[in-house]
Amino acid sequence: MRGPTCRQAGFTLLELILVIATITVLAGIAIPVYALLQVKNDLDVATNTVTQTLRRAQTLSQAVDGDTTWGVKLQTSDITLFKGVSYSARDTNFDEVYTLSGNVTPTGVSEIVFSKLLGNPNTTGTVTLTSTNNETQNITIGSKGQLDY
């Protein structure tokens, strides 16, 4: 009579290869989707940052904070809220700088200054934010300072 058979527990090489292959395929699908969603999120964050900065400059101008006008300067990598009649003649002590993601590029109107008390912009037009995957978001500045996006 023979004794009880001993079976070794564990995984076969084939099972391990199948698990690794499955994980690789799932990662190959998930990583590009995540990257696409990240770029879209960066565009949404940039749109919100630009509109909030424009509204803040308008509100400060309407409140005649510091007895002067306030404006916004859009550059390739950042947005600056400034105090003064223009970006070049601003009081740098009051600058508020917000960084844009490297995935988003602003074009169009680059400097907007709002008038004291009424808060009307000195220029109207559109700010276009373009992401690296060529999605765009337009922010239109009207003559009374209304923002459409």
Query: Model pTM?
Result: 0.82
Instruction: Give the three-class secondary structure for 57.
Output: helix
Q: How far is CA 110 from the centre of its chain?
A: 16
Question: What is the pLDDT averaged over residues 102-130?
Answer: 96
Say which residue the tokens 């008038």 belong to.
115
pLDDT digits (tens, 9 = 90+) for 2-41: 556 667 778 899 999 999 999 999 999 999 999 999 999 9
pLDDT digits (tens, 9 = 90+) for 74-103: 999 999 999 999 999 999 999 999 999 999
- Residue 149 DSSP class: -
pLDDT at 114 over 80: yes
Q: Which CATH class is domain 13-148?
A: alpha beta
